Structure 1
Amino acid sequence: MSSNNRFSFVDPAKSPVFYGYVILVVGTIGIYFSIPGQTIGVSVFTDPVKDALGLSRNQFSNAYMIGTICSSLVIGRAGVWFDKYGARYVAFFAAITLSVALMLCSWSVQMSEFVKTMLNLDTWLIPFVIMAALFFVLRFSGQGVLTMASRNVIMIWFDKNRGKVNAISSVAISFGFSSSPLWVNALIEGYSWQVTWQILAVALVIFSLFILQFYKNKPEEHGLLPDGEVLEDEEESIKNPVAKQYTAKEARETRAFWMYGLILAFNSFFITGLTFHVVSVFASEGFSKDDAISIFLPASVVAVTISLIFNFLSDYLHLKLYLYLMILGGIMASVGFLFLSSSFGIPLLIGGFGVLGGFFAVLNAIVWPRFFGRTHLGAITGKVMSFLILASALAPPIFSLCFSTFGSYRLLGYLGLVFLLFLSIASIRANNPQ
């Protein structure tokens, strides 16, 4: 058995269908299993866990922010591991690490009480530090490594059909993520938050065994080519030259890397900040909680529709068009955010919210392998992931600071427009370096 297929009984070369489609399924499931480390998965636990630990909402949120920021500082290293060891081992250890973190989270109260007894101290700092450390591991292994490895392995197995398979994966993930708070909350109400985290931990251990069996690093290691193509002769390889394989350092020297990375980071910042403070944002403009929450369903419909259509079209269109459409979505959302109380404010916000989310699902997966090749994809996407995680960590406190200082969130809308104007001008020369 070759080292590329060690611990696995599955041979991609003997698959009756192109094995990339198996990778599409298991990679999408892998992203879905990252939910316990994503904001949408953690948020359901906030109230019961903070109450059990004796932390205020601000203290719990700050522990989450610190853990997230720390994870953004080291996620780039995971990208290097991906390039060196491949998706199988990186995703496997990420799943195991996330499982251990979840199990420790379920014992956080006992851990806190034990440390308090050992130190003879009764202070909120002890559960605060414990949760900050656990959130670091959760965010690093879940939102960071497992998500990155699972998404990248799908992109590596496809080239010409990359947009089409990403359309399928993105839609499945959108529905999976949007439904996750419902079943996680049902588990918490039925079994308690501790047992729910333990159930998720066991499920991840089981899935880690599936990773070892079914994740395969790249088609070439098994005598295959992306998309299931077969090169018949040397002439054909001359007609279809291999793309330049950029290193992470070379990628960072291109304008395209920064422009696409910054618009994706803007999406993470704006969407996370708005989602986290949505009730307060709408209340500041005279709207009810129901009005605030009602924007998510139509925005999700817009996002899924755009993701599905433009993922398919991405195999045929230039991604620079997508970059400008995403910037337009950000402008729509910022204007809607500024004029929320007007008749066109909420529709613009919903439309911009959906456009941002839809194009994020396309560009975050498609642009990096197309622009910079597959050889150093882990290091490149690891760097991008650090932008996204840092932006999502900073958004809630910056939104909160803006409101507490100025009594309104509107300054963020103006700053968003200025940033997007700069981005639209700077992106004129952000061409595909290939």
Structure 2
Amino acid sequence: MKNANKFSFVNPKRTPFYYGYVVLGIGSVGILASIPGQTVGVSVFTDPVKDALGLTRNQFSNAYMIGTLISAFFVSKAGVLFDKYGARFVAFFAAFLLGVSLLMFSISVKISTFFKSIFYTDSWLVPFLIITFLFFCIRFCGQGVLTMSSRNMIMMWFDKNRGKMNSISSITVSLGFSCSPILINKLIDTNGWQMSWQILAICLFIFSFFIIQFYRNKPEDFDLVPDGFQKKSNKEKEKEQNFTLAEAKKTRTFWMFGLTLAFNSFFITGFTFHIVSIFAGQEYTKTAAIAVFLPISVIAIFVSTLCNILSDYINHKIYLYMMLVSGVLASLGLLLLSNSIGVYLLIIGLGLFGGLFAVVNAVSWPRFYGRKYLGSITGKVMSFLVIASAIAPSLFSYCFSFFNSYSFISYLTIPFLLFLIVASFKVKAT
């Protein structure tokens, strides 16, 4: 790639150690930087923002759904841009635009008031449309492009040690994601939700500079090789297979793994988005509800560390079934949440699911389909995840509105998981 080091003072060829370790560190930070665009980051803002804009819970959830669904269409296109231009520039624009979107979010009430005065109306539709557009921006830039490009970049720099390196990244990301609701909630309590978004935006602008300095697309751009080992022999190169997106979509593996990851996105998004409301029915305070993320993250970190290390050696079909069983446990936990056993099942299920997600969503795709078209393949999978995360808050919200309980969503999720379990029997061992 021409000008692979443009605008940067850092040259990977001159570092005294393999530059992939720098990529590992900065890429992990990049995934953490997407938190303001992730459900775990948005959920803490849900109640104060919807109240400030005069929206009901269902209206706010629908805005989130529509904005996220629209972003899903563009995420798959961003995967093609990743293959063409690399992680460096794609991640830079994603981080910078995410910061701009957060600034707009911080003044969304003023924007809403301005347009209401222009059109001489006090309709809820005005803030609804504004918030829908802003949700599109942060979901596309944060959950979609910044996450995908950062994770894929790490995978591009490693091959034989891909699982081991991803275990280190997963620990960092899991800790960051689990702590973020507590930290953001404290930030809001101290500074208010508007100022909190502005602070996060400034952090993203600063990080954009570091992306240009330290993000690098692939080792081959600098005459380096994955893992930092000696170049592969011709026989090893011949064994490498690089599937196009069209070829990958013809395999059962692509759909079973993709749909399982999408379910993870659906369930965790719905649960996280309404976590305060879900546990309020069990007489949990807001602080106690958010604290549930801690034991979930402890389990997730342990599982992701172990399974990442083993992923270099074992059949990934095992992980697929472990994820599906974890989903069943989490669904049963939500169904039985009125009993103490439900809380434990929910924590264990989400912990296992989250830990395995960190492995499969990063390591499995380059192992199955190679690195050459990794952006377009993972971009398509990311669109599944984004669509699932878009639908979840509204379905959870309507479930609560009609049945006065979130537990009934399990009557939809459990049959779907059982279908995936049966359909996965013929997935080829890889």
Structures share fold, TM-score greater than 0.5: yes
Counterpart CA distance in 1 for 2:204 and 2:276 is 33
Amino acid at match of 1:99: G
Gap runs ≥5 in structure 1: none
Which residue number in structure 1 is paired with residue 283 of structure 2? 288
Partner Cα distance (1:121, 1:238) in 2: 70
Alignment partner, residue 270 of structure 2: 273
Deviation at 1:66, TM superposition (A): 1.6
Give the corresponding residue for 2:427: 430
Is 1:162 the counterpart of 2:157? The answer is no
The aligned residue for residue 326 of structure 2 is 329
Asked if 1 retains the 8 angstrom alpha-carbon contact of 2:67 and 2:134, the reply is: yes
Once the two structures are TM-superposed, the CA of residue 283 in structure 1 deviates from its matched residue by 6.5
CA contact (8 A) 2:337 2:407 kept: no
Provide, for residues 325-359 of structure 1, a one-character-per-residue CA deviation record: whole Å limited to 9, x for no partner.
Answer: 11121222233333445564333332222111111
State the Cα distance separating 1:19 from its structure 2 match: 0.5
| Alpha-carbon spacing, 1:338–1:202, altered in 2? closer, same or farther (3 Å) | closer
The answer on whether the counterparts of 2:333 and 2:345 sit within 8 Å (CA) in structure 1 is yes
Decide whether aligned partners of structure 1 residues 136 and 322 sit closer, same or farther in structure 2, where only a CA change above 3 A counts: same
Paired position in structure 1 for 2:356: 359
Query: Aligned pair in 2 of structure 1 residues 158, 46: CA closer, same or farther (>3 Å)?
Result: same
Structure 1 pair 61–164 and aligned structure 2 pair: CA distance change class (3 A)? same
Aligned mates of 1:158, 1:237 — CA distance in 2: 19
Deviation at 1:393, TM superposition (A): 1.5
Quote the residue 2:183 is aligned against: 183
Aligned residues: 428
- CA distance, structure 1, for counterparts of residue 305 and residue 187 of structure 2: 31
Local SS of the residue matching 2:238: coil
Q: CA deviation at 1:293?
A: 5.5
Residue of structure 2 equivalent to 1:133: 133
One-letter code of the match for 1:247? T
Contact 1:256 1:432 in 2 (8 A): no
Question: Between the two proteins, what is the percent identity of the paired residues?
Answer: 58
The aligned residue for residue 58 of structure 2 is 58
Alpha-carbon distance change, 349 to 105 in structure 1, aligned in 2, over 3 angstroms: closer
Shift of 1:375: 1.0
Structure 2 distance, partners of 1:199, 1:278, is 24
- 1:162 maps to amino acid: R
The answer to whether 1:382 aligns with 2:417 is no
Q: Output one character per residue of 1:311-336: Cα deviation in whole Å (capped at 9) or x when no partner.
A: 11111111111111111212222333
| AA of the residue aligned to 2:192 | S
Distance in 1 (alpha carbons) for counterparts of 2:86 and 2:306: 31
Q: Deviations over 1:104-145 (max 9, x none)?
A: 112222222221222222222112111111111011001110
CA distance in structure 1 between the partners assigned to 2:102 and 2:276 by the alignment:
29
- Give 2:42's aligned amino acid: V
Structure 2 length normalisation: TM-score?
0.93
SS at match of 2:327: helix
Structure 1 residues 53 and 347, CA, compared in 2 at 3 Å: closer, same or farther?
Answer: closer
Deviation at 1:162, TM superposition (A): 0.7
1:10 aligned partner, one-letter code: V
User: Contact 1:279–1:288 (CA<8 Å) still a contact in 2?
Assistant: no
| Partner Cα distance (1:379, 1:240) in 2 | 22
The yes-or-no answer on 1:223 pairing with 2:232 is: no
Q: How far 1:282 moved relative to its partner?
A: 5.5
1:244 maps to 241
The separation in 1 between residues aligned to 2:183 and 2:340, in whole angstroms, is 35
In structure 2, relative to structure 1, the CA distance for the partners of 1:111 and 1:260 (3 Å cut) is same
Work out the CA distance in 2 between the residues paired with 1:9 and 1:194: 35
1:198-227 CA distance string (max 9 Å, x none): 222222122111111111110011101100
Q: Comparing 359-368 with 402-411, which one deviates more in the overlay?
A: 402-411
Matches within 5 A, 1:62-77: 62-77=62-77
Residue 276 of structure 2 corresponds to residue 256 of structure 1: no
- The answer to whether the Cα contact below 8 Å between 2:175 and 2:297 also exists between their aligned partners in 1 is no
Which of 298, 307, 311 is matched with 2:295 structurally? Answer: 298
Deviations 1:132-159 (A, max 9, x none): 1111101100111001100110011011
User: Is 1:348 matched with 2:341?
Assistant: no
- Between the aligned partners of 2:53 and 2:408, the Cα distance in structure 1 is 35
Shift of 1:160: 0.8
The one-letter code of the counterpart of 1:352 is G
User: Bigger shift: 257-266 or 337-346?
Assistant: 337-346
- 1:83 alignment partner in structure 2: 83
Q: Alpha-carbon deviation of 1:266?
A: 1.2
Label 1:325 to 1:210 Cα distance change in 2 as closer, same or farther (>3 A): same
| Structure 2 match to 1:172 | 172
Flag the 1:224–1:47 CA change in 2: closer, same or farther, 3 A: same
Q: Distance in 1 between matches of 2:58 and 2:408?
A: 22
TM-score under structure 1 length normalisation: 0.92
Summarize the Cα distance change of 1:86–1:307 in structure 2 as closer, same or farther, 3 Å threshold: same
Q: Which residue of 1 aligns with 2:40?
A: 40
- The code of the aligned residue for 1:15 comes to T
